[in-house]
Chain A
């Protein structure tokens, strides 16, 4: 089995394969953040920090213990979730922008701490040996990506997910309906961080070299852009956003140094002309209904409310 997969992945153009893997990882990260920001409505400006916790945890485990990769990733995710909880618990009671600023602050602190720890090899970063698994990385990543997509779909369409959406829509009304918003926000945050940790672990082993500066503010913003671009709270949106933003720089590569210039301008344009994201307000179930039965509906418009 493993040999078959290996030969398949050997037969694909490594450049294409690399983009493909990056998309899978981006989807995992975006879906985790989507749960926190899109579904629960808590703007997290430091998601890359939890990714870095997972990346370094997984790398250190492989270097020192070489545990099987699946166990390694579970530990990395769990540690990221615990760090997330330790940070989330005090700050999730802050409202709106104050929460967002606190996530940003903690992410910067975490980055600086990692830049100063021996175990992360300080500013030099870590070389990550190959993961302890016989399955080739691309298949491994996509296996997990699909698991994550299924998992978050289940979560969003459950009693638990409804409670999260209620908190996003109107926290006071949600509490009056018996929802302990503090508890649910913490749980959503922990799950989002868990996914960030898994994504980080995969990233570390795929890239094979990690540095705390890889997970700086701009990385958090990249992930946030994926979620917002796709449309807050929407799983297909996050998937499309993650794919587009991973592939776009490749298409813009011919512009070499002008790439980031165009990227910045594109963000502004997209927001001005599609402020709710590419797929914002598109309900896929309704879309199917509309296509087949010609039903037309007003679109939902998920936003983060003022104050």
Chain B
């Protein structure tokens, strides 16, 4: 059932890609592995769930609110935990990010409890569409469609707007960008907000797709999405999406091939292989160090 696995893999990969975008954008600008990004994704899933269950909202409205909430959350996290550390060692910032990650996941554990929760069955009407021998669900179509829309939207922002231009300039050379009069703080806040809202969308979609939202879902998803970002070439937006798809497809194919107990290792095995063969990722540029 190759086609079916391909469809499932692409669906999973699209979500990895959405999360990976946040990693790649942040790393591209401030060289920080934002370990709290997985928890933002988790927060998005919970906010969406709350909107649907508590406030009986339409899933699309819930999705937008989750994205808005996480946008703010991402900006706040950057302000509180990373900005004061911008001129210290990168390791300090990394540890700070880990602190945020522990804080947010524990907070979710305290609020929502240890058990996974699911979106109510009627949240999004799922039906199957047959394409040849395989079938694709309306939910999968939603995930693919929405990922594509968000991805294109992001590309437009980065390449067609003024702030996008500032983002690109800042990721090329932070100091020079500041000297050229770009408000680097604003660019960084914007980047965090943007990346976080994409992760929130990923969270809601994953919650729907696997029908499970839990306090610790951020860690592994975050690590894998990060692997996807590296795979695609960290700093590259199309690379993140490509890396996500690649990982998703391989993971599902691996499971289909009977390696389900090695599921979590597959992503990392691919990551390590890519690092050894082409450390800058599929779409990354090679930079030779000047002395």
Q: Which residues of A are found within 8 Å of B94, using beta-carbon distances? A: 43
Q: Which of B124-132, B148-156, B258-266 contacts A (4 or more CB under 8 A)?
A: B258-266
Most interface-central of A229, A260, A267, A307 (chain B CB within 10 A): A267
Instruction: Give the CA-CA distance A104 to B223 in the complex, in Å.
Output: 9
Residues of B within 8 A of A224 (CB): 95
User: Which listed residue, B33, B96, B223, touches A97 by the CB 8 Å rule?
Assistant: B33
B264→A94 contact, CB < 8 A: no
Are A306 and B90 in contact (CB-based, < 8 A)? yes
For A265-290 the 0/1 string (1 means CB < 8 A from B) is 11110011001100000000000000
Known: A271-B99, A275-B85. A108 touches B31 (CB 8 A): no
Whether B91 is near chain A, meaning CB under 8 Å from some CB there, is yes
Q: How far apart are B3's CB and chain A's nearest CB, in angstroms? A: 28
Q: Give the residues in chain A near B90, CB-CB below 8 Å.
A: 303-306
- Cross-interface CB contact of A105 among B92, B95, B262, B272, cutoff 8 Å: B272
Find out whether the CB atom of A267 lies under 8 angstroms from the CB atom of B96: yes
Contact B110 A275 (CB under 8 A): no
Give every chain B residue within 8 A of A268 (Cβ-Cβ).
80-81, 96, 99-100, 103
On chain B, the residues within 8 Å of A229 by CB distance are 95
- 5 A-B residue pairs with CB within 8 Å: A105-B227, A112-B264, A263-B99, A268-B80, A302-B89
Interface string of A82-109 (1 = CB under 8 A from B): 0000000011001101101110111011
- Whether the pair A232, B110 counts as a contact (CB closer than 8 A) is no
Majority secondary structure of chain A interface residues (helix, strand, loop or mixed) = helix
What residues make up the interface of A, taking CB atoms closer than 8 Å to B? 37, 43, 90-91, 94-95, 97-98, 100-102, 104-106, 108-109, 112-113, 115-116, 172, 217-218, 221, 224-225, 228-229, 232, 257-258, 260-261, 263-268, 271-272, 275-276, 301-307
Name the residue in B80, B94, B102, B109 with the highest tally of chain A Cβ atoms < 10 Å from its Cβ: B102
Q: What residue in chain B is nearest A306 (Cβ atoms)?
A: B31
* B88 adjacent to A260 (CB under 8 Å): no
CB distance from B44 to the nearest CB of A (A): 19
Chain A residues contacting B109 (CB-CB under 8 Å) are 257, 260
Indicate whether B180 reaches chain A with its CB closer than 8 angstroms: no
Q: Is the CB of B262 within 8 A of A112?
A: yes
B227: which A residues are within 8 A, CB to CB?
A: 101, 105
